[in-house]
Amino acid sequence: MAPVRAGGVLLLLGCCFVLHIPPSAGQGSDCTCNMTNSRCDESGICRCDPGWGGEHCDRCVLMPGCVHGSCQQPWQCTCEPGWGGRFCDKDLSVCSSQQPCQNGATCTMKDNGDFTCLCPQGFHGRLCQRRSGPCHQSRSPCKNGGLCEDADGFAAELSCRCLAGFTGPRCETDIDDCRMKPCANDAVCLDGINRFSCVCPGGFTGRFCTVNLDDCASRPCLNGGRCLDLAGGFRCICQLGFMGNTCDTSLSSNWTTRGEKGKGKRSSNMTHHGNRLMKVTVSDRGGAGLSDVQLIVVVVLGAVTLAVVALTTGLVLWGHCRNCSSTPSWSRTRSQGAERSRRRGRSEAQQCQISVLNSEPQKKSNMEAV
């Protein structure tokens, strides 16, 4: 019986513990939240409605940007004394405390909290700081968007501040951007407004036409020719037996054109060497005989040559015989020298006579033999 009683007591105590639920903090009288602007959660913490803040949700939220203001309801900006404007950021005492207007102008306040200056005659501007000078009195003479300047009206004469690309007293002249010749490689420069553009020749590109295009990229050389990239062009170095700008012409096919009157074969080919045009002509003369005119010329030249040779031989022999028959004369400045000269002359004469005598029998013997 004792164990049964103990179990019953434990069961009764468990039921009492389950049925006992503590009262919620939000539902009891301990919740301090403003029940109009918030509510209490299960933990007793105030959860504010939009536009309200604070620990007990009793403080309204100001309008965003409100500087010197307060609120009674959310998103309000009620300005404090001395401040105005939508955000209470305008000082209503600016005219009396700061006196922003210049040159004797009258400062007045507007309903929105701003101030305005009533300028006296001859002045203008927000603070009446500008004088009615040449730019204000007449229409601006500056052209092409130039700004008229007269030192806020205090200058005796106006001036123009020009935009980029223009010059002159009234900005009337467009600056020649091609004056410095910015385009390279003989490109054409086109002037614009504060700009220029280059029209590049063939083989070049880039803003200033300084980039050389690879003219050999397309492989223009045929028949195994080697391509050399040049400035604004290319050149092909052809293999043996080919020619032309792209090595497309075979030399064997050009030796087919006959020359005049069948005297030989002549072929002509046009090729480009860099930027120059070169004409190559190959001529082959056959072994035909001489013409009548050429034969006459050869005979005349042969006769003239023989005549010149005969005349030269006769002059040489005549000079030799004259030296043998004449006695040399010497100046007789000294007696001893003259004697020696006479002796030498006699000996040479004797030798000449002996040679003549020796030659005559030989001629006779020859004649007798004949």
pTM for the full model?
Answer: 0.34
DSSP for 272-307 reads: EETTEEEEEEEEEE--PPP-HHHHHHHHHHHHHHHH
Domains held by the chain: number: 2
In DSSP terms, 102 is beta-bridged to none
Q: What is the pLDDT of residue 147?
A: 92
| Sign of the alpha-carbon dihedral angle for 130, 131, 134, 138 | positive
Is residue 45 a part of any domain in this protein? no
Segment among 24-28, 55-59, 292-296 with least mean pLDDT: 24-28
Tell me the pLDDT of the chain averaged across its residues. Answer: 75
Binned at pLDDT 50, 70 and 90, residue 10 comes out as: very low
230: closest CA among 213, 246, 248? Answer: 213
Binned at pLDDT 50, 70 and 90, residue 207 comes out as: very high
Residue where one domain finishes, among candidates 190, 213, 236: 213
Q: What is the pLDDT of residue 191?
A: 92
Q: How far is CA 210 from CA 182, 184, 217, in A?
A: 10, 6, 18
Q: What is the pLDDT of residue 117?
A: 92
Is residue 266 a part of any domain in this protein? yes
Residue where one domain finishes, among candidates 240, 265, 284: 284
Residue 268 has pLDDT above 60, yes or no: no
Q: What is the mean pLDDT of residues 69-84?
A: 90
Binned at pLDDT 50, 70 and 90, residue 46 comes out as: confident
Residues 241 and 264 in one domain: yes
Is residue 246 a part of any domain in this protein? yes
Binned at pLDDT 50, 70 and 90, residue 168 comes out as: very high
Is residue 236 a part of any domain in this protein? yes
Is residue 249 a part of any domain in this protein? yes
Residues 208 and 231 in one domain: no
Q: Which of 39-48, 170-179, 359-368 is modeled with the greatest confidence? A: 170-179
**What domain range is 197 assigned to?**
176-213
- pLDDT > 70 in the chain, percent: 69
Is residue 254 a part of any domain in this protein? yes
Helix, coil or strand: residue 192: coil
Q: What is the mean pLDDT of residues 90-98?
A: 85
Q: What is the pLDDT of residue 304?
A: 92
**Tell me: the pLDDT tens digits for 309-320?**
999 998 888 887
**Tell me: the pLDDT tens digits for 130-147?**
888 888 877 788 999 999
**Helix or strand (DSSP H, E) at 313:** helix 292-325
Is residue 156 a part of any domain in this protein? no
Binned at pLDDT 50, 70 and 90, residue 193 comes out as: confident
Residue where one domain finishes, among candidates 266, 284, 302: 284
Query: Residue 193 sits in a domain of what CATH number?
Result: 2.10.25.10
102: closest CA among 82, 75, 120? Answer: 120
Is residue 191 a part of any domain in this protein? yes
Q: Which of 238-242, 253-257, 320-324 is modeled with the greatest confidence? A: 238-242
Q: What is the pLDDT of residue 150?
A: 86
Alpha-carbon gap, residue 250 to 269, rounded angstroms: 10
